[in-house]
Amino acid sequence: MPSITRSKSSRGPDAHREPRSVPAPDGGQPIAPDDPALEERIHALGTEFLELARRHRSGILSAAFWSEKLIDWAMKDEAFKVQLFRFVDTFPTLKTPEQVHDHLVDYMSQPGVTPPPGLGLGLKAGRLLKGAMSRTVTRQITSMGERFIAGVDAASAVDQLEKLWSRGIGFSVDLLGEACVSEAEARVYQGKYLDLIRSLPEAVGRWPANERLESDHLGPVPRTNVSIKISSLFARTDPIDFEGSIAGLMDALGPILEAARDSNVFINFDMELFEHKDLTLELFMRCCEAVEFPAGLAMQAYLRSGDDDVRRIIDWARKSGRQVTVRLVKGAYWDYETIHAEEQGWPVPVWSRKAETDACFERMSARCIESTPRGPGDGGVKLALGSHNVRSIAYGLALLEKEDLPSNAIEVQMLHGMADQLKAAAVEMGLRTREYVPVGEMIPGMAYLVRRLLENTSNESWLRAGFHENVAPETLLACPHRTYSTPDPGVERIERGPERHQLTEAVEGVGENRPFSNEPAREFSQKEIRERFARAIASAKVPEVKANATEDDAEQALAAAQAALPRWRALPVRERSAVLVKAAAIMRRRRDELSGIMIREAGKVWREADGDVCEAIDFCEYYARQAVALFEYQRLGRFIGELDQVIYQPRGVAVVISPWNFPLAILCGMTTAAIVTGNPTLIKPAGPALGIGRVFFDIMREAGCPADVIQFMAGPGRTVGAKLVRDHRTALIAFTGSMEVGLDIVAAAGQVPRGQHHLKKVISEMGGKNAIIVDASADLDEAVLGVRQSAFGYQGQKCSACARAVVVESAYETFLERLCESTRTLKIGDPLDPAVDFGPVIDNNAYRSINEYIEIGKSEARLALAMDLPHESRLAAGRDYIAPHIFAEVPAEARIGNEEIFGPVLSVLKVKTFDEALEVANGTAFALTGGVYSRKPANLEKARAEFRVGNLYLNRPITGALVGRQPFGGFALSGVGTKAGGPDYLLHFVEPRSICENTMRRGFAPGI
């Protein structure tokens, strides 16, 4: 049985000194170890490991990676690193040397970037040198890729695997590719895994036996080891539909696991994003219960939940009597998890200090080692240490000794292309060592490659410190367990977010005296959040509201509002703001129930409904703060003897006419803006959304808004709507809806009836025919999902929806094919079901009008996709459905490409160049939202300057504007240029007054 060498030198001259207390670069006070002898042993083993590894530096296992000029420069210059990695990510989509050169020059000339000397000269080269330059760069990037990726497929990597084996290193092959946008793609991945599992054992079966690699303390270990990423196997993986995702994944995995069982192939489940963590843990356990295959699972120590996660797997393994391997890693998506959590306002799931990750790694290692099965019949967890950090590995090795387990009870795993010296040292130390070997094409491999580049160049990287910067062993092996006197940066990042982002000023007396921050969406990956939501929507009731208001009712309401004006206007603005803040609090309390009402009434799916409530809360909180500043007297200049001031006053009686598609958010936004600025308001919600409209009205009343300041008018547009708009008392009309009604209101408001002594102000937000441009260098994984979401989210019934995809011809065929396949994976059904992505259209009128456009489309373009509806029993009873439709090769002048359809109909247009794409995108009467998927900085810049829409989104979907962050609204025939949720919005609800006082009396003025 192998054992870890205990050479004298490994103990070193300071072997008996007190445990080290080297402060980490990220601070913290070391905690004295519970077991000084163990700490001593960690240092001894670590020192030996390090010494052995450092001896290998100049051989074939050297750290050549860091000698690469580009990487070297990247580590010195952050701005260069960002652009280099972005270029590397784009590289596989570039087809010609000109494109390579063009993009490289573009990236390297971004502000603040200084390319390394050789590269700088090459970039300035004339046409002749362009080819040579592109070839050099292509070679460099290909060789970077080759360093981390062993081949395009398993067959091409077998030679490398065999070489590894001959050096005493085992393997785990991983198929690159982690996003699949359709079931068709998932099936391709499934086929590749099956091929791998069936063919690899034969290919490697001829190799000589290796006792160390093929057995552990309990018996044989399979020679073939495959790592899988679940995200590539089922396109509908989404924790919101936890059980559906598990079922779909188990279907996809079933044949793979059975083949693995039959061929004795070890299968390891990789761990990916935090949002899939619970799903992956559950899936793993259920798969193990369904099929007896040699099983392992990666677990991440950078997660704050790491201790609980590992306990869960250990408890299950013990209880069920299973032996599984935990490959303990720190985690590869740290940046993403931190950035994403902050964007969403969710708790950051990863530790924010590197030493905390390292400490958690040790705690998790300890739990695994304690639970290591001692005999073949014991249930428990075998540990594989997936790390290149000698301290982290040495900890596990030392604890193993302490627990009296042999060294082959543990395995050491490292990544292909990294830390070759450490692998050699591990082999020398007699450890079972395995390399994680990714294989696959460049495009799906880019995400993996960029992660490796980031990891290797990170300031926090142990490998960089150990082998590039040659930091002293004392520091490299320092104990990571610390206490901190400063606040946790990850917690602070979220908690102090409002102060850092300053989306508004902090206003004393409003919303806890803090600046505005967005209401975070529900984190549906969390079980309790999902379950609470499901319970709330199950019991939500849509109030019955009759649209039976009459013109007489309108008359009375207008009179009451007019009478309320002086009182409401005179109220201190903070009191009006307090009503909004209170309304927000009520909505927060009833949040999931409000979603339930919209799901039932308007056919929104879970996330869409939740987003609607969040936006409504945001409007209240945002305008409550904005209004206070607005109503302060502003002094202009500082002249002595002259006091110049501007103040604002409310306009008067406001009429809010709101749409059904954001039945809470838009109604709430327009109404609260009017009310907080002192205008008594009559609200007239759209017919199909009267229930939620009424609930909102009741909330405003409960929040303290007087009965004559907010009044509910449910009645026909032809009579009640027309009366409200035309009445002489109406001073302000806030409307969101169709262009026809919007233009009618603008025209009607232009009339000045008898008795009206003012001009009416109209805030009119109308439709769009929004385009997303897909450029030649677009990341198609993102573009496909972004266009799909923007076009078919809420059945395309958003004014911001994508109605046109304008695609540059080199990307056209692939994009269109993948988009159609991806759209096919959308689940159509009853939106009460969390699995459903796509619900009914709002009513029969919409149904008829959309169908008419589909017929027109058939005569104008090629119908590339008309999805089928599922069986009636799966649809919401009594509702009208239209499945997603995609038209291809749509001519620029086609009606379906120019007129607003307001339903799930997407036109795809082919163009030759990016410039032409811009021209087409700008070529309708609307200017609301627009998007660009491109990885060419110059094209993104051009879009900023020339893509003339109210809301432009680059490399992301074009719906879902957030209050305070993306003020929303368009111009041209999309609207009058007001921006809901932006700093200027409230200005439209008030009139400015300017006051000038001569403060000089008899030649004297204060302040001289």
Ligand X SMILES: Cc1cc2nc3c(=O)[nH]c(=O)nc-3n(C[C@H](O)[C@H](O)[C@H](O)COP(=O)(O)OP(=O)(O)OC[C@H]3O[C@@H](n4cnc5c(N)ncnc54)[C@H](O)[C@@H]3O)c2cc1C
Catalytic residues: 765, 799
| Smallest distance, ligand X to C-beta of residue 46, A | 13
Q: How far apart are CA 649 and CA 993, in angstroms?
A: 7
Location of structure tokens 């990750």: 357
* DSSP-derived secondary structure letter, 980: B
- When asked if residue 455 is in the footprint of ligand X (CB under 6 A), the reply is yes
Single-letter residue type at 499: E
Of 390 and 597, the one with the shorter C-beta distance to ligand X is: 390
Among 41, 147, 354, 936, binds ligand X (CB under 6 A): 354
Of 365 and 392, the one with the shorter C-beta distance to ligand X is: 392
Among 153, 342, 460, 843, binds ligand X (CB under 6 A): 460
Instruction: Choose one: 235-243, 347-355, 547-555, 736-744; the region binding ligand X (CB under 6 A).
Output: 347-355
Across-strand partners of 991? 649
- When asked if residue 935 is in the footprint of ligand X (CB under 6 A), the reply is no
- When asked if residue 382 is in the footprint of ligand X (CB under 6 A), the reply is no
Of 73 and 462, the one with the shorter C-beta distance to ligand X is: 462
Location of structure tokens 């001959």: 166
Of 386 and 742, the one with the shorter C-beta distance to ligand X is: 386
- When asked if residue 462 is in the footprint of ligand X (CB under 6 A), the reply is yes
Closest CA to 495 of 514, 509, 511, 482: 514
Of 435 and 618, the one with the shorter C-beta distance to ligand X is: 435
Question: What is the pattern of x (binds ligand X, CB under 6 A) and - over residues 421-450?
Answer: ---------------x--------------
Among 242, 266, 351, 395, binds ligand X (CB under 6 A): 351
What is the token pair recorded at 422?
């450490």
Of 65 and 792, the one with the shorter C-beta distance to ligand X is: 65
Among 284, 334, 568, 812, binds ligand X (CB under 6 A): 334
- When asked if residue 386 is in the footprint of ligand X (CB under 6 A), the reply is yes
Q: How far apart are CA 977 and CA 766, in angstroms?
A: 10
Of 253 and 463, the one with the shorter C-beta distance to ligand X is: 463
| Smallest distance, ligand X to C-beta of residue 34, A | 22
| Element housing 8 (H / E) | helix 8-11
Closest CA to 390 of 299, 478, 301: 478
Answer for the pair 104, 123: CB distance below 8 angstroms, yes or no. yes
Q: How far apart are CA 411 and CA 384, in angstroms?
A: 4
| Smallest distance, ligand X to C-beta of residue 424, A | 15
| Smallest distance, ligand X to C-beta of residue 386, A | 3
Alpha-carbon distance values, 311 to 305, 359, 394, 413 (Å): 10, 16, 22, 22
- When asked if residue 266 is in the footprint of ligand X (CB under 6 A), the reply is no
Of 302 and 887, the one with the shorter C-beta distance to ligand X is: 302
* DSSP-derived secondary structure letter, 893: T
Instruction: Choose one: 120-128, 184-192, 331-339, 905-913; the region binding ligand X (CB under 6 A).
Output: 331-339
* DSSP-derived secondary structure letter, 401: H
Q: How far apart are CA 885 and CA 791, in angstroms?
A: 10
- When asked if residue 225 is in the footprint of ligand X (CB under 6 A), the reply is no
Closest CA to 478 of 19, 123, 962: 19
Answer for the pair 335, 367: CB distance below 8 angstroms, yes or no. no
- When asked if residue 833 is in the footprint of ligand X (CB under 6 A), the reply is no
From first CA to last CA, the distance across the chain in angstroms is 94
Of 273 and 762, the one with the shorter C-beta distance to ligand X is: 273
3-state DSSP call for residue 912? coil
Among 237, 357, 433, 679, binds ligand X (CB under 6 A): 357
Q: How far apart are CA 478 and CA 544, in angstroms?
A: 67
- When asked if residue 49 is in the footprint of ligand X (CB under 6 A), the reply is no
Phi, psi of 623 (to 5 degrees): -70, -30
| Smallest distance, ligand X to C-beta of residue 466, A | 9
3-state DSSP call for residue 924? coil
Of 183 and 411, the one with the shorter C-beta distance to ligand X is: 411
| Element housing 385 (H / E) | strand 380-386
Among 41, 56, 276, 388, binds ligand X (CB under 6 A): 388
Instruction: Choose one: 58-66, 276-284, 323-331, 689-697; the region binding ligand X (CB under 6 A).
Output: 323-331
| Element housing 360 (H / E) | helix 354-370
Order the strands of the 770-774 sheet from edge to edge: 862-866, 885-888, 905-911, 802-808, 770-774, 929-933, 951-954
Among 461, 671, 730, 934, binds ligand X (CB under 6 A): 461
| Smallest distance, ligand X to C-beta of residue 463, A | 6
Among 276, 330, 591, 651, binds ligand X (CB under 6 A): 330
Name residues whose C-beta falls within 8 Å of residue 433's C-beta, 6 or more positions apart in sequence.
168, 169, 170, 411, 412, 413, 414, 423, 426, 427
Among 225, 323, 371, 413, binds ligand X (CB under 6 A): 413
- When asked if residue 395 is in the footprint of ligand X (CB under 6 A), the reply is no
Among 74, 228, 298, 598, binds ligand X (CB under 6 A): 298
Alpha-carbon distance values, 350 to 358, 452, 526, 899 (Å): 12, 18, 15, 47
The alpha carbon torsion through 424, 39, 465, 11 (nearest 10 deg) reads -50
| Smallest distance, ligand X to C-beta of residue 490, A | 8
Answer for the pair 929, 786: CB distance below 8 angstroms, yes or no. no
- When asked if residue 342 is in the footprint of ligand X (CB under 6 A), the reply is no
Q: How far apart are CA 926 and CA 861, in angstroms?
A: 22
How many residues bind ligand X (CB under 6 A)? The answer is 33
| Smallest distance, ligand X to C-beta of residue 482, A | 12
Q: How far apart are CA 601 and CA 603, in angstroms?
A: 6
| Smallest distance, ligand X to C-beta of residue 266, A | 13
Among 53, 324, 332, 720, binds ligand X (CB under 6 A): 332
Q: How far apart are CA 896 and CA 903, in angstroms?
A: 11
Instruction: Choose one: 108-116, 296-304, 562-570, 765-773; the region binding ligand X (CB under 6 A).
Output: 296-304
Answer for the pair 399, 45: CB distance below 8 angstroms, yes or no. no
Q: How far apart are CA 438 and CA 443, in angstroms?
A: 13
| Smallest distance, ligand X to C-beta of residue 55, A | 20
- When asked if residue 313 is in the footprint of ligand X (CB under 6 A), the reply is no
The alpha carbon torsion through 901, 902, 903, 904 (nearest 10 deg) reads 80
Of 397 and 594, the one with the shorter C-beta distance to ligand X is: 397
Alpha-carbon distance values, 231 to 180, 181, 252, 349, 366 (Å): 7, 10, 11, 19, 29
Instruction: Choose one: 113-121, 324-332, 610-618, 717-725; the region binding ligand X (CB under 6 A).
Output: 324-332
Of 30 and 957, the one with the shorter C-beta distance to ligand X is: 30
What is the token pair recorded at 1?
């049985």
Among 40, 216, 238, 270, binds ligand X (CB under 6 A): 270
| Smallest distance, ligand X to C-beta of residue 385, A | 8
- When asked if residue 331 is in the footprint of ligand X (CB under 6 A), the reply is yes
The alpha carbon torsion through 199, 202, 207, 213 (nearest 10 deg) reads 70
| Smallest distance, ligand X to C-beta of residue 348, A | 10
| Smallest distance, ligand X to C-beta of residue 318, A | 23
Of 418 and 510, the one with the shorter C-beta distance to ligand X is: 418
Instruction: Choose one: 42-50, 386-394, 767-775, 970-978; the region binding ligand X (CB under 6 A).
Output: 386-394
Residues of this chain that bind ligand X (CB under 6 A): 270-271, 298, 300, 302, 327, 329-334, 350-354, 356-357, 386-389, 392, 413-415, 436, 455, 460-463
